[in-house]
């Protein structure tokens, strides 16, 4: 009996929606706009978070880098003064590596030799320019990189300054296309290198391609690229995550000893944890998420007022119909449920249209910005919940208004 009544109410609700198709469509569009704004922004935010997480998580939360950085804005005597940290020289980098003997750690020393190298293979040469990085045997592991073909450098390659290299995945699409790149000889600045490995594709991070680079042994890179004031970078991987904080403290004190800093002086170098960077960026994306909720809530508030207004007008227009139903024995609850179901259907229709549009817009923006798209289940759930609450709040007053109508007065209404 109850089920039949519900079916009948749903049938009447759909019939009523059909008779007011223009008004219903406009309300659905208003709700959909709010949900689209909410889902669209949340989709882009989740795609951005996914991209950042995949870019930095590959580095592992158990690595940290020691590098030069600019420490700005120290006020001295009312004047703003910029403190520029000295570069990390090769002797300093080597001294750090030798002195930092903390358990369960591996230290890698590297530097970017150039970002405008021209690489040749037989009669062909690269375009665009390639980055050349001088590395040791720990660089690939510490940077969260992997080889898709061939192998990593070993200690023998580095100790003997072998003219071998590991190339980025873009070489398989360009210079070394349609051939097996392993054991082929490429030329950089006239020096010939044997390809021993190809890196797995990394894609681009904020527009910078990670796949257009050649890694060569650090001493070979130093002999080929003798620019003044080369800045070195140290990357440390800690195999036991629980001792990461102690390892960082030890690394800071080691670097201070290398730089002969007195206890009263601040560090003149930077320590960046891989999880630090990701947490900072994800912290920013949280604000974007909050902004999307704010935009969504404001728009949805407008749509809930529109939906309530439409349902009140509908109750007024159908006063005579309500009177007839009540005179024939319809209970207050039956009349209230009928109008309530109508509101819920309109609200959910708006929600579904909004979710579809929001995901499509979010997908379009994520694709255009080269973000890794993921289906935003959280945003979909949020949208369904929001449209349900909108319909719930908007439908209560008109449903109660319809239920308490006096059947005699309603029958007299023209």
For the segment 252-267, the average pLDDT, to the nearest whole number, is 88
Strand ranges in 118-156 using DSSP code E only, listed in sequence order: 119-121, 124-125, 130-135, 147-150
> In the prediction, which pLDDT does 389 show?
78
| CB atoms inside a 10 Å sphere around CB 276 | 14
Class of residue 87 by CB neighbours under 10 A (exposed 0-12, middle 13-18, buried 19+): middle
Contacts of 27 (CB under 8 A, 6+ apart): 303, 306, 307, 310, 346, 350
For the segment 103-124, the average pLDDT, to the nearest whole number, is 88
Domain parsing of the chain, residue ranges = 2-56+279-412, 69-268
| Window from 18-22, 25-29, 81-85, 393-397 with minimum mean pLDDT | 81-85
pLDDT digits (tens, 9 = 90+) for 130-186: 889 999 999 988 888 888 889 999 999 999 999 999 998 888 877 788 788 899 899
> In the prediction, which pLDDT does 73 show?
42
Q: How confident is the model at residue 412 (pLDDT cuts 50, 70, 90)?
A: low
Name residue, tokens 């978070």.
49
What is the SS3 string spanning 239-304?
Answer: CCHHHHHHHHHHHHHHHHHHCCCCCCCCCCCEEEEHHHHHHHHHHHHHHHHHHHHHHHHHHHHHHH
For the chain, percent of residues with pLDDT exceeding 90: 16
> In the prediction, which pLDDT does 71 show?
46
State the virtual CA torsion across 164, 167, 172, 175 in degrees, nearest 10.
-70
> In the prediction, which pLDDT does 164 show?
94
Residue 207 above 60 pLDDT?
A: no
> In the prediction, which pLDDT does 215 show?
95
> In the prediction, which pLDDT does 78 show?
47
Residue 46 above 50 pLDDT?
A: yes
Apex 370 CA angle, 364 and 376, nearest 5: 55
> In the prediction, which pLDDT does 376 show?
72
> In the prediction, which pLDDT does 128 show?
66
> In the prediction, which pLDDT does 47 show?
77
Tokens of 199: 């890196």
Residue 296 above 80 pLDDT?
A: no
> In the prediction, which pLDDT does 61 show?
58
For the segment 192-208, the average pLDDT, to the nearest whole number, is 77
Whether the pTM exceeds 0.75: the reply is: no
Q: How confident is the model at residue 221 (pLDDT cuts 50, 70, 90)?
A: very high
């Amino acid at each position: 009996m109850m089920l039949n009544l519900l079916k009948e109410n749903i049938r009447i609700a759909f019939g009523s929606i059909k008779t007011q198709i223009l008004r219903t469509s406009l309300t659905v569009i208003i709700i959909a706009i709010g949900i689209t704004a909410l889902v669209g922004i949340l989709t882009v935010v989740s795609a951005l978070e996914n991209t950042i997480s995949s870019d930095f998580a590959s580095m592992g939360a158990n690595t940290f880098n020691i590098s030069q950085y600019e420490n700005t804005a120290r006020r001295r005597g009312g004047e703003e003064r910029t403190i520029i940290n000295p570069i990390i020289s090769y002797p300093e980098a080597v001294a750090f590596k030798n002195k930092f003997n903390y358990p369960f750690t591996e230290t890698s020393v590297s530097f970017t030799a150039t970002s405008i190298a021209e690489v040749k293979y037989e009669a062909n040469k690269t375009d665009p320019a390639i980055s050349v990085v001088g590395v040791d045997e720990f660089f690939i592991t510490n940077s969260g990189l992997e080889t898709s073909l061939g192998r990593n450098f070993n200690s023998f390659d580095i100790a003997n300054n072998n003219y071998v290299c590991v190339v980025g995945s873009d070489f398989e699409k360009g210079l070394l296309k349609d051939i097996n790149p392993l054991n082929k000889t490429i030329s950089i600045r006239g020096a010939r290198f044997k390809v021993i490995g190809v890196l797995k594709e990394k894609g681009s991070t904020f527009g910078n391609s990670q796949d257009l680079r050649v890694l060569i042994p650090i001493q070979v890179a130093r002999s080929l690229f003798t620019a003044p004031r080369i800045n070195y970078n140290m990357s440390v991987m800690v195999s036991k995550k629980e001792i990461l904080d102690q390892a960082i403290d030890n690394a800071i004190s080691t670097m201070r000893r290398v730089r002969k800093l007195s206890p009263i002086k601040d560090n003149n170098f930077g320590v960046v944890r891989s999880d630090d960077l990701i947490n900072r960026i994800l912290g920013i994306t949280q604000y974007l998420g909050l902004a999307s909720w704010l935009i969504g809530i404001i728009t949805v508030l407008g749509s809930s007022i529109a939906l309530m207004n439409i349902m009140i007008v509908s109750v007024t227009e159908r006063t005579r119909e309500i009177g007839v139903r009540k005179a024939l024995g319809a209970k207050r609850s039956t009349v209230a449920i009928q109008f309530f179901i109508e509101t819920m259907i309109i609200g959910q229709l708006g929600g579904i249209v909004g979710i579809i549009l929001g995901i499509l817009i979010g997908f379009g923006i994520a694709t255009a910005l080269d973000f890794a798209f993921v289906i935003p289940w959280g945003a979909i759930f949020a949208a369904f919940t929001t449209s349900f609450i909108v319909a719930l709040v908007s439908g209560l007053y008109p449903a109660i208004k319809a239920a308490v109508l006096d059947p005699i007065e309603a029958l007299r209404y023209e």
